[in-house]
Structure 1
Amino acid sequence: YLLQKRNAMTDLRTPARWPAALYSLVQWRKLVRYERAICQTANAVAAVSDADRQALRQLDGAANIHVVSNGINMDEYPVHPAAPAKAEARLLFTGKMDYRPNIDAVLWFCRHVLPLIQRQFPSATFQIVGMNPHPRLDEIRHMPGVEITGAVASIQPYMQAATVYVIPLRVGGGTRFKALEAMASGKAIVSTRLGVEGIPVQHEQELLLADTPSEFAAAVMRLLQDNATSTTLAAQLGQSARAFAAAHYDWQQITPLFEDMYAQVRRQTMR
């Protein structure tokens, strides 16, 4: 329900999107009733982030809610170090491209952020990698430097070639698996705060955070500069991000949380 609420609030800002906003508002109200009923009947509820747990608490304060984050198999993600300073400025976004938060993210980035970057880095490219590109993306398909791949066999070649991984999400909920993939790959990341909601990373430690077009562009360009400071920062962010993912989101860390939740439910139901 939180996702539909955020979709509605975003679409209401644009008159052309008001029909979509109305749809989201209707879905939001339906999901509030449905999710409240589920919380009231379940022995336990697993939320993937503390923000989602708090949202569910608003629906049913008595629900037995556990935070069990998305997990990732670190062994499946080889480290892709930051590209050399003189390499082409290659920006990357991955995700299912008929998913509304992803559509909104890349449209916003292409309309408001990429032009600012290309003023200083004219050859900068933005690869959008993911299945089922929505027709709404047609307006950016032929923009200079933009590549929409559609479905690919593996994101690893794109991750390896990327200079900076961007997460310009403005709507959505949960824990961002795309962020975990980029972190596990040791990439330098620039994200909105919502883009890593549910992942307790810190600005300038595991990644750079930015929410406005000018801030986002400045953060990306900070990592693209052809100098030792920029190269070192990108490498440090990538290393810290991978270490953070390994410490908190590897399945070896997440599985015991599931086991604890199931054990508690079993004890309660056997009383």
Structure 2
Amino acid sequence: MRILQFTVDCPFPPVSGAEIRNAANARALASMGEVLTVSLTGAPAPSPPPNIRHRIIEAARGRASWYRRSPHPTMHIIPDDELAEADALWGQFDPDLVVIEEIVLAQLLTLASKHRARTVLDLHNIDSQTVADRIAGLTLWQQLRGWRQNRRKKTGARDADRHAAAMADQVWVCSRADGALLSALGPVNDIKLIANPIPDESVLSLPIGAERYRDLRLCFIGHLGYFPNIDAVKQIGRGMVPRLAASGRPWSITVAGKTPRDVVRGLCAKHGLQLIENPPHLPELLGHAGYAPIPLRFGGGTRIKVLEAMAAGLVVAATEKAVEGLGLQAGRHFLSSDDAGELASKIIDLSATPQAAVEMAELGRAFVRDSHSLAAIETAIKQAVAAIPLPRTG
């Protein structure tokens, strides 16, 4: 079997949540045949895993990120030269299966009618819901002032989700909640749940001991160019830092991730957060901290930062939005509140009883180890692919 995987960024090495999911999917698909990953940004992967090759759409090199030049709220309106190059690569490789990352690249589905391969749309988020959440988070004045524009954005995002899901032969989602949101938009051929992986299973060996949780050492990791994560950094700075400072105890918060925007740099400088840009090795960062603050208010789908933190033995302190669809139990697997300040208070309280923190960390790690290992992801993908008749005839 030959499998073609289109992604926005090169999946290797996997750093951000999207790359981590794409890399895990590629590895699982490589167990079934030859995989060619094709990305629109990044550099050629220096050493992809066995049975995986990587190419870049050369026409896209040097151009601004899609969201800076696309008139659509969620889709990349792919220029003709980039689309023609993708079409040529598709024809040359002659795949049996094509996996397309996210609604952002959904325009590539229009090429399927020229080729025989079946298609999978891999949704890391339900983008129409993310757009709606972002607009709902605006002040009332902002919503009223931009009412027509916001309505167009929401309609455009819903139409894109609905149309792309109906075009693909199969759609992968990250959680049952995302599957329900997608089904509510209209008819979908086939939805399969493909959970997200633990990004680096080596973190499962990081020690869990009482000393780790006595100190107020916090670490937030995520793509720092993605607006839900930018908003989370705002919540950490404005809501959590004052509570931690008021405790009278030493504290530290590390914010680490890929391509931080200037607003993130400003927030970290203003609130005393340590910013680590494009961290080369995450296990060391995760092992140094005891708590993972994740006060997400927007977004959906991947939840990889939650899985990563729990696998590494951190106690996660998160909003319900951050853990939505994972099946975690508040108070058992993680600390829960929709208020960032309250999350900080719960961390402070738990650190006074570090053995209780140990128990929560162990339960969190066991949960993700059992449900989100690479072996579990590979099994789910094999079963999903087996449900698609290959190759398509006619």
* Matching residue's letter, 2:160: Y
Task: Work out which of the residue numbers 219, 232, 250 in structure 1 matches 2:355.
Answer: 232
Contact 1:191–1:207, Cα closer than 8 Å, also in 2: yes
**Alpha-carbon distance in 2 for matches of 1:191, 1:156:** 20
Shift of 1:138: 4.2
Structure 1 residue 72 corresponds to structure 2 residue 198 = yes
Code of the aligned partner of 1:124: W
Answer 1 or 2: which has greater helix percent: 1
Contact 2:171-2:192 within 8 A present in 1 as well:
yes
Question: Is residue 185 from structure 1 mapped to residue 312 from structure 2 by the alignment?
Answer: yes
Aligned pairs (5 A) from 1:106-117: 106-117=233-244
The 1:86/1:174 distance shift into structure 2, 3 A limit, reads: closer
Preserved CA contact (<8 Å) 2:237 2:268: no
RMSD: 2.6
The aligned residue for residue 164 of structure 1 is: 291
Give 1:1-271 correspondences, 5 Å limit.
Answer: 1-12=128-139, 15=142, 26-72=152-198, 75-77=201-203, 78-82=205-209, 84=211, 88-143=215-270, 145-225=272-352, 230-266=353-389
Counterpart-to-counterpart distance in 2, 1:174 and 1:86? 29
Which range moves more in the overlay, 73-82 or 1-10?
73-82
More divergent stretch after superposition (176-185 vs 5-14): 5-14
Secondary structure of the 1:262 match is helix
Which structure has the larger Rg? 2
Tell me how far 1:28 sits from its aligned partner: 3.2
Assess if the C-alpha contact under 8 Å between 1:124 and 1:145 holds in 2: no
Q: Is the 8 A contact 2:313 2:364 kept in 1?
A: yes
Q: Distance in 2 between matches of 1:206 and 1:11?
A: 31
**Aligned CA distance change for structure 1 residues 130 and 267 (closer, same or farther; 3 Å):** closer
Residues 85-94 or 254-263, more deviating: 85-94
CA distance in 2, matches of 1:241, 1:86: 14
User: In 2, distance between residues paired with 1:17 and 1:109?
Assistant: 28
Measured at CA, do residues 171 and 267 of structure 1 come closer, stay the same or move farther in structure 2, by a change above 3 Å? same
> CA separation of 1:211/1:151 partners in 2, compared to 1, >3 Å: closer, same or farther?
same
Give the drift of 1:269.
6.1
Cα distance, 1:134–1:83 mapped onto 2, change above 3 Å: farther
Counterpart of 1:43 in structure 2: which amino acid?
Answer: D
- Which one is further off, 102-111 or 72-81? 72-81
Equivalent AA in structure 1 for residue 386 of structure 2 = A
Q: Is the 8 A contact 1:112 1:213 kept in 2?
A: yes
**Bigger Cα displacement from structure 2, 131-140 vs 72-81:** 72-81
- Choose between structure 1 and 2: higher strand proportion: 2
Displacement of 1:45 in angstroms is: 1.0
Which gives a bigger RCO, structure 1 or 2 (Cα 8 Å, sep 6+)? 1
Q: 1:152, CA displacement in angstroms?
A: 1.4
Q: Work out the CA distance in 2 between the residues paired with 1:154 and 1:64.
A: 37
Residues 199 and 304, structure 2, Cα contact 8 Å, conserved in 1: no
**Aligned partners of 1:74 and 1:246 also within 8 Å:** no
SS in 2 for 1:66: strand
Identity %: 23
Alpha-carbon distance in 1 for matches of 2:334, 2:316: 5
Separation (CA, whole Å) in 2 of partners of 1:146 and 1:209:
22
3-state SS in 2 of match to 1:174: coil
Counterparts in 2 of 1:96 and 1:140: CA distance versus 1, 3 Å: same
Structure 2 counterpart of 1:256, one-letter code: T
SS of the residue corresponding to residue 133 of structure 1 reads: coil
In the TM superposition, what is the alpha-carbon distance from 1:25 to its structure 2 partner? 5.0
Q: Please say which of residues 181-190 and 133-142 is displaced more in the overlay.
A: 133-142
- Matched positions, count: 265
Contact 1:11 1:18 in 2 (8 A): no
Q: Please list every run of 5 or more consecutive structure 1 residues that lacks an aligned counterpart in the other structure.
A: none
Length-normalised TM-score, structure 2: 0.62
The alpha carbon displacement at 1:257 in A equals 1.6
SS of the residue corresponding to residue 11 of structure 1 reads coil
Q: Secondary structure at the match of 1:205?
A: coil
Aligned mates of 1:23, 1:155 — CA distance in 2: 39
One-letter code aligned to 1:262: V
